[in-house]
Structure formats: C-alpha cells, structure tokens
Amino acid sequence: MLCIKTKLKKFNNNYQKNSTKNKKTKIDFKVVELNLKKTKSPKTRKGKSNERKRGKKMKSTLKKTEKGITLVALVVTIVVLLILAGVSINLVLGNNGIIAKAKDAETKSAEASENDLKGMNSLIEQMESALNGSGNGGKTEPETVPYLPSDDFHYDTSTSVDTGLIIADSNGNEYVWVVVPRTTAVYKTTGLGKTTFTDADYRSIETDLKNYTSTYGTTDDFSDTWYADTNNEGWLTEAEYKTLKNDMLKSVYENGGFYVGRYEAGIVENRTLYGPTNSDGKYTIEGMPTPVSKADAYPYIWVTRTQAQNLASNVNSGTKTSSLMFGVQWDLVLAFMHNKGNIADSTLTSNSTTIGNYKNNLWTIKNANAKYSTDYGRTFTACPNPFKKESNSGIVLTTGADSSFSVQNIYDIAGNVYEWTLEKTDRDSLPCAQRGGDVYDTGSGSPAAKRNNYYTSSAYYYIGFRVTLW
C-alpha cells in the first residue's frame, strides 16, 4: 500500500510540473486512497461483478422481450388502422360514397325544385289567365286550382290544365287534374265563396254538379247513395260514406277539380282468380298488392266493388284522400273531356268506338311494352310492333297501351275493362255500379258514359277500377 502511495505522489508531482499547457482535472488522492481501502478481495468483486453482469443480461433480455411484444402490437394496430382508413376513404370518396351520393342528391333536389318552379309558374300563368270578374259572379278567383297532394308528387311541366295536367309521385304513379270550373254557371244555386258548409250546402253542391253533367247522368236509376254489403270485409258504414262524399264535394267546390288515375288501376303480376276471403267467407284484401297507376301494367281485375274501394284507399295520396270515384266524379271526367278535349258528347254517350278498346275497334298499336290477352286476362303475350287487330274480337290490353285510347291524357275511360264506382243502382239486389264498357262489347253498346249493375259479391275478368285523389 505504501509503495502505491509513494508512486502516486511521485506521479502527481511530475504531472503538476508538466501540465501547464494541458489543464485537466486534478486527481483527488484522498478519495483514491479511501476507495482503495474500501475495495474487497478480487474474489468478492468478481462474484458481484458476475452477478451484476447476469442482472444486466436478464434486464436486457426482458427489455428486448418487452420491445418485441410492443412492436407486434404496433404493427397489428397500424394494419387495422390502414384497413379502417381504406374503408372509410372508400365510403366517403368512392363512386358510391357519401360525398358522391350527397352531390347526386343535391343535383336531383335542384332539378326537382327547378321543375316544380317551372310547373308553378306555368300554373300561375294559367290561373291568372283564368281570372274572370264577370264570369265568376264578380269574383276574381281562378277557375281551377291544381295542387300537389304532398312533397312526394311533382308536376309534369310538359302538360297543362287545358291539355290534361299530369302529376306523378316518386314511384311513377300518374294522375290527371280534372277541371270543374269555379263559376256561377256551374254553381247556380250554391253560388261562390262559401267557407263553411252545412248538409244543405253539400246537397246544393251535388245538385249543381249533377245538373252541370246531366248529359252523362241519369235521373234516379243511379245515385251516390250508401247501401249495405254483407259479402265483403271492410265496406264503408253509412256515416263513413257520407263523410267521404261530403269531403269530395267540398274539395271539388273549393279547388275547381280533382285528380283521377291516368290509367286503370294496374298490378305488377297478373291476377287470374277472385278472392281472397276471410274465415267468415267474406272477401278481403289481405295479402293483395297495392294498385299502381302506370302504363303497361296488368289490369287489376277479379275484384269486388268493396275490395276495389279498400285497395284504392291504400295508395299513396300524400295528405289527400284516395278512393274509387263517385258517380258524379265519373260524369265530371266526361264533361272535362268534352269541354277541354273537344270530344263530342255523342262520342261519350252513344258510340265511343274511336276512343276505346272495344271488340269492334280495329286498332293498330306500336307500343313495344304493351301486352295482350285473348283468354279473358288469364295470360298475356307481348304485343308485336306494330300489332294490328284485323277482326272483331275481345282483346284485353295492358294499361295505357296506345294513345288512341287517351283523351286529355286519361286512358281507357272507354273500353278495355269496366270500372267500379261508388254509385248505387236502383236495383237493391244488384246495387253495385260500374262504368265505361269493356272489350267484349262494342263502342255503341257500352260507351264511356255507360252504367251497369252487379252484386256486391261480383268479381269478374272484365271489371277493374280506377283511383281518384282529392
């Protein structure tokens, strides 16, 4: 130990003498000496050194393990995030993504708004042109006020009130506005400008409308009167019938018209049998599809009058009412065809061959989407283009088969199939009324104004129906 001290002192003296140019920290020999005293045997130091080495190695291994686990988890997380990011980007930016759909919705909304604006501007012009201070009893009111049943409907701006204004819902069901002039010439006893209505007012309105359409009506043989029905499920009560009729009369009076199905009620899949019935044996509409008002549909036949009414009341009517037509409404349609479509009354009341699908009408159609049936509507075949009928025969066609069967954009009021209405006949045993004729008769035998009568349980291949909105 003394030898070591002597050598260190000698080294320190030499170092201090020769370190004037190289200034470094001096060695504290007291600290060195103290540490030397504390130092244990080489064997102990080696043992502890080995232990420290083993500890460091173990810690290093653990750290590597921990680093390995963390790295795997990180990689998995990154992969998952990349997948989610890809899906999210596709949902947002893809061809069918949120942004693309939003842009498409914006475009369609703008187009719809533009079309509605055009339609409204056109209607405003027509309403303004219809203002007549003297003809309306000194009142400046439009002759007719076509409205949209709801935001789900839009105007066909290529049509007009005078030519047959068409509206359609989002599913393509089409209706035509029937003008009933708001003039003192029509409402001779009721007058104009009523805002409240009594039973007497409703009777007065009905009387005025029947007088206005007397050319196409009858006296007491047929009337819009309720009658019982024990053969069907869901027929109107007398109170419901009265409310329905009064609401219709009020709407026609206030708005100067109503909507009628552009086509006979149609069905997507052909219907070949009557029914169904419930557990009591009464006819019901359970499971029967909702009718459509579209071109090239199968006529909705094999239905009773009550079934037709229940089906008609279930169509999309927005905030308005849907129903079969009352008898006076059918006559108002004919008056509209005469007044606005310049169709001779004789064509509507005596011989409708030229405007309808009758057995004696040798027509030619060029509608590639139309179908025809020669077996009473059981099966339909695609029409050749052109399809020429060369002999008297009853050939049922799908709805709206040809424009020659259209007046004021309303198809098949004459011919093809009869149509149920809410009229009552003067025969209690056969109270149900149907209108318009069919393909199994001639245009003179069953013109557009023709009425017929049947049982409440009647459901045939030649009787369908049509929907009206008010």
Give, for all 470 residues of the chain, the pLDDT tens digit. Answer: 445 445 445 545 554 555 444 444 444 444 444 444 444 444 444 444 555 555 555 555 544 444 455 666 676 677 667 777 665 665 555 656 666 665 665 655 555 555 555 455 555 545 444 444 334 444 447 899 999 999 999 999 999 999 999 999 999 999 999 999 999 999 999 999 999 999 999 999 999 999 999 999 876 789 999 999 999 999 999 999 999 999 999 999 999 999 999 999 999 999 999 999 999 999 999 999 999 999 999 999 999 999 999 999 999 999 999 999 999 999 999 999 999 999 999 999 999 999 999 999 999 999 999 999 999 999 999 999 999 999 999 999 999 999 999 999 999 999 999 999 999 999 999 999 999 999 999 999 999 999 999 999 999 999 999 999 99
The sheet that has 371-373: what strands, in order across it? 381-382, 371-373, 396-397
- Other CB atoms within 10 A of residue 417 CB: 28
Is-contact 312 265, C-beta < 8 A? yes
Q: What is the pLDDT of residue 22?
A: 45
Is-contact 401 297, C-beta < 8 A? no
The closest alpha carbon to 245, from 352, 162, 327, belongs to: 327
The closest alpha carbon to 153, from 106, 129, 120, 107, belongs to: 120
Q: Who's near 339: CB < 8 A, 6+ residues apart?
A: 179
Q: How far apart are CA 58 and CA 62, in angstroms?
A: 6
H helices of 313-407, in order, are: 327-341, 345-349
Q: What is the pLDDT of residue 218?
A: 72
Strand partners, 266: 292, 299
The closest alpha carbon to 408, from 107, 84, 165, belongs to: 165
- CA distances in angstroms from 275 to 34, 152, 271, listed in the order given: 116, 32, 10
CA atoms within 13 A on the CB side of 119: 22
Sign of CA dihedral 411, 415, 421, 423: positive
- Other CB atoms within 10 A of residue 13 CB: 10
The enclosing H or E element of 373 equals strand 371-373
Is-contact 260 436, C-beta < 8 A? no
Q: Measured in whole angstroms, how far is the alpha carbon of residue 309 from the centre of its chain? A: 21
Region of residue 160 (left: phi > 0; alpha: psi -120 to 50; beta: else): beta
The closest alpha carbon to 271, from 379, 188, 400, 360, belongs to: 379
Q: What is the pLDDT of residue 217?
A: 87
Q: What is the pLDDT of residue 116?
A: 55
Q: How far apart are CA 190 and CA 264, in angstroms?
A: 33
Q: How far apart are CA 438 and CA 374, in angstroms?
A: 13
- Other CB atoms within 10 A of residue 333 CB: 28
Structure token digits, residue 399: 């709805």
Q: How far apart are CA 259 and CA 122, in angstroms?
A: 18
Q: What is the pLDDT of residue 21?
A: 44
Q: What is the pLDDT of residue 444?
A: 97
Q: How far apart are CA 166 and CA 156, in angstroms?
A: 5
Domain ranges of the chain: 161-469
In the block, tokens 């139309």 appear at 370
Q: Who's near 315: CB < 8 A, 6+ residues apart?
A: 173, 290, 291, 293, 322, 467
